[in-house]
């Protein structure tokens, strides 16, 4: 083996050492940097899309009148305040000349989870509700006026049950004129939170 052969083998070995020690780690680092750059670019694009959607939603919200937003938040509350609802119900009853015999707040019923049954999916609407049991007494005409007040309430208030009792009867017929007809009215009212 001559000097040329040893030089060529040394240069080949030196080339392999340079490739494995310097070039290969540099290529790996460049590949990692490119992956990070692509990931950063993708994340920046998604953030830009999210910002543009957020800007659209904010513009849509700002297009509503403040009074309309407050009315919507009142009519579609996210929570049910027992004391406020009970105070409103009591106020409507007294305003129409009836007496509150009983007003009880029930348990909050939370929204149910999505149900999957035999391949069918029933999606929960996310609505929770609370029932209030109200018993009032007084004449029939003020009772009708109270029902009208309940229909024009600020928040959703639904009649679930109504029981009438305590009317004076003789031989199965009412013996007093309708204006003076007094009785007890027991009802279950339901309000919702969205």
Is the pLDDT at 131 greater than 80? The verdict is yes
Give 95's pLDDT tier (boundaries 50, 70, 90): very high
Q: Domain boundaries in the chain?
A: 1-63, 77-193
Give 153's pLDDT tier (boundaries 50, 70, 90): confident
Q: How far apart are the first and last CA of the chain?
A: 90
Is the pLDDT at 16 greater than 70? The verdict is yes
CA 138 to chain centre: 38
| Range of 114-118, 143-147, 151-155 with top mean pLDDT | 143-147
Q: Which CATH architecture has domain 77-193?
A: 2-Layer Sandwich (3.30)
Q: 96-116, pLDDT tens digit by residue?
A: 999 999 999 888 777 665 555
| Res 133: pLDDT | 93
| Res 93: pLDDT | 92
Please compute the mean of the pLDDT values over residues 40-69 and round it to a whole number.
Answer: 88
């Amino acid at each position: 083996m001559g000097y040329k052969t040893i030089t060529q083998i040394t240069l080949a070995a030196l080339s392999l050492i340079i490739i494995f020690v310097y070039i290969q780690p540099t290529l790996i680092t460049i590949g990692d940097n490119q992956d990070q750059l692509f990931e950063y670019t993708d994340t920046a694009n998604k953030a830009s899309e999210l910002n543009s959607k957020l800007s659209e939603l904010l513009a849509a919200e700002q297009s509503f009148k403040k009074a309309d937003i407050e009315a919507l938040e009142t009519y579609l509350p996210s929570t049910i305040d027992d004391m406020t609802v009970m105070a409103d119900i009591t106020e409507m009853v007294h305003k129409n000349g009836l007496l509150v015999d009983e007003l009880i707040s029930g348990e909050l019923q939370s929204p149910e989870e999505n149900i999957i049954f035999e391949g069918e999916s029933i999606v929960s609407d996310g609505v929770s509700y609370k029932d209030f049991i109200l018993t009032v007494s007084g004449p029939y005409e003020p009772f009708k006026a109270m029902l009208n007040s309940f229909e024009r309430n600020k928040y959703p208030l639904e009649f679930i049950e109504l029981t009438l009792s305590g009317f004076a009867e003789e031989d199965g017929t009412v013996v007093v004129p309708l204006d003076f007809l007094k009785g007890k009215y027991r009802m279950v009212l339901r309000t919702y939170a969205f």
